[in-house]
Structures are given as structure tokens and as C-alpha cells.
């Protein structure tokens, strides 16, 4: 057998073994690092071409203009300064986050069906004395046909499905966005969604969550 054919055969066998190993461990890894050893619970995604969620620029421009005309002025008037517009996350760290929550969810027996990006505001951002709109991201699972945010870390540690709403309630906050019923029944004109906890009830806010953030905001510049 010629050396070139032998080399091709070796490459094919190695590739097939790699694919089998990846499927066995349900792992995904970087294609530019396909020759490295594949640890369990890492993730690799193949390029399947243009995907359904990718936008056309006509849609992008329409969305940006609508934000410009309906959000900038009211927010600047209310705040006294222009709010943040861009949330930027480290790509490598975000992939690590996805790998971590996927692995925790798999171990907890919960199927991730989505990822929610939740509007929030970061107080005194970078010592500016101002709060700026920020995002919290957390995985969701499907319950009764609805996307419900859940905490993969707490679900793994407690051995059951622990929702984001449940963890927030333990910290004195009422989350009303899981269902239409929650929203209609919980909506308040004063926007105060605090929950009065029983006297002596310990807050859970020192307990780590499965939610993510740690991005950069702009503005401010």
C-alpha cells in the first residue's frame, strides 16, 4: 500500500474514532483543536451554514431605528443621561459558561431548551454613581409548553428542578415573568416586587447561582 493511501486510512480511522468518542460523551469541541484529547463535558459545534436566527440588515436597521425613536429620549429624560446600549461578553468565557451550565443541567436531568437574557440595571457601574441597563442570562427549560428560567447549579446541588423564580423569592424578590398568569396577577403600578421575608429568615443571596453576567457596558464612554 502506498504511503499516501496509508496516511489517508490512518486519518480516516482517527477521525471516525474521534466522532465516536465525541458522540459517546456527548461532547463538543473546537474543530481547530480536533487532534487534542477530548475531555468529558466539553462542547464542539459544527458549522451547518446560515441558521434560522441570523438577521438580514433590513431587519437590523428597522429594529435599531425603532429603539432610537421609542427608547432613547424617554430613558434619557428619566435618567438624566443616556443609558447603556451595548452589552459585550468575553466569547471564550461565555463558551465556558455554556459548557458549565449544560453539564450541570445534564447531571440534574434537566433539558435546556433556551437561554433568557433578562433586562436589569447595574447600580453605580464602574464607580460612575449611575445605574446602567445590564443583562442577566440564565438557561430555560420547557414546562407545560412555556420557557421557564431555572438555576442549573442549584438544581444540580439540590437534586431537583429549582426555578429562577424560586431562588429569587428566597431573596425577597417576586419574579412575575414565567407565565401570563404570573404577570397579570403580579404586575404592580409602583414596580415594587419585593417580598417581605419572615423575621429571622436567612437570605440566600450568598448562595452562588447558575446565572451569568460580567460584561462590559457602553455607554458610559
Let me know whether 22 and 75 are in one domain: no
Let me know whether 66 and 130 are in one domain: no
Q: Tell which residue, 139, 171, 133, 170, has the closest CA to residue 153.
A: 139
Let me know whether 63 and 154 are in one domain: no
Q: Is the torsion defined by CA of 180, 185, 190, 194 positive or negative?
A: negative
Let me know whether 126 and 209 are in one domain: yes
Q: How many domains in the chain?
A: 3
* CA separation for the pair 149, 179 (Å, rounded): 11
The answer to whether residue 168 is domain-embedded is yes
Let me know whether 168 and 194 are in one domain: yes
Residue 28's pLDDT is 46
Q: Which domain holds residue 19?
A: 8-48
The answer to whether residue 24 is domain-embedded is yes
In this predicted model, what pLDDT tens digit does every residue of 56-82 receive, in sequence order? 999 999 999 999 999 999 999 999 999
The answer to whether residue 31 is domain-embedded is yes
Let me know whether 33 and 136 are in one domain: no
Given a cut of 70, the residues of the chain with pLDDT beneath it are 1-43, 200-205
Let me know whether 160 and 178 are in one domain: yes
Let me know whether 163 and 141 are in one domain: yes
Let me know whether 115 and 197 are in one domain: yes
The answer to whether residue 106 is domain-embedded is yes
The answer to whether residue 220 is domain-embedded is no
Let me know whether 40 and 109 are in one domain: no
Let me know whether 141 and 204 are in one domain: yes
Q: Tell which residue, 96, 90, 105, 99, has the closest CA to residue 155.
A: 105
Strand, coil or helix: what is 134? strand
The answer to whether residue 1 is domain-embedded is no
Residue 211's pLDDT is 97
Let me know whether 106 and 175 are in one domain: yes
| Beta-sheet pairing, 86-88 with 216-218 | antiparallel
Amino acid at each position: 500500500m502506498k504511503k499516501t493511501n496509508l496516511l489517508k486510512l490512518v486519518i480516516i480511522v482517527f477521525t471516525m474514532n474521534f466522532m465516536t468518542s465525541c458522540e459517546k460523551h456527548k461532547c463538543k469541541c473546537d474543530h481547530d483543536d480536533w487532534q487534542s484529547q477530548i475531555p468529558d463535558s466539553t462542547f464542539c459545534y459544527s458549522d451547518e451554514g446560515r441558521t434560522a436566527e441570523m438577521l438580514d440588515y433590513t431587519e437590523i436597521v428597522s429594529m435599531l431605528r425603532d429603539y432610537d425613536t421609542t427608547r432613547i429620549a424617554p430613558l434619557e429624560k428619566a435618567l438624566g443621561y443616556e443609558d447603556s446600549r451595548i452589552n459585550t461578553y468575553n466569547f471564550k468565557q461565555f463558551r465556558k459558561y455554556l459548557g458549565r451550565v449544560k453539564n450541570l443541567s445534564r447531571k440534574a436531568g434537566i433539558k435546556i431548551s433556551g437561554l433568557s437574557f433578562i433586562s436589569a440595571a447595574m447600580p453605580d457601574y464602574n464607580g460612575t454613581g449611575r445605574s446602567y441597563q445590564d443583562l442577566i442570562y440564565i438557561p430555560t427549560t420547557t414546562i407545560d409548553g412555556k420557557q421557564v428560567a431555572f438555576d442549573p447549579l442549584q438544581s444540580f446541588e439540590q437534586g431537583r428542578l429549582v426555578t429562577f423564580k424560586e431562588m429569587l423569592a428566597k431573596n425577597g424578590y417576586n419574579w412575575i415573568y414565567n407565565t401570563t398568569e404570573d404577570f397579570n396577577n403580579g404586575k404592580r403600578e409602583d414596580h415594587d416586587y419585593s417580598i417581605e421575608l419572615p423575621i429571622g429568615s436567612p437570605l440566600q443571596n450568598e448562595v452562588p447561582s447558575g446565572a451569568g453576567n460580567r460584561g462590559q457596558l457602553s455607554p458610559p464612554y
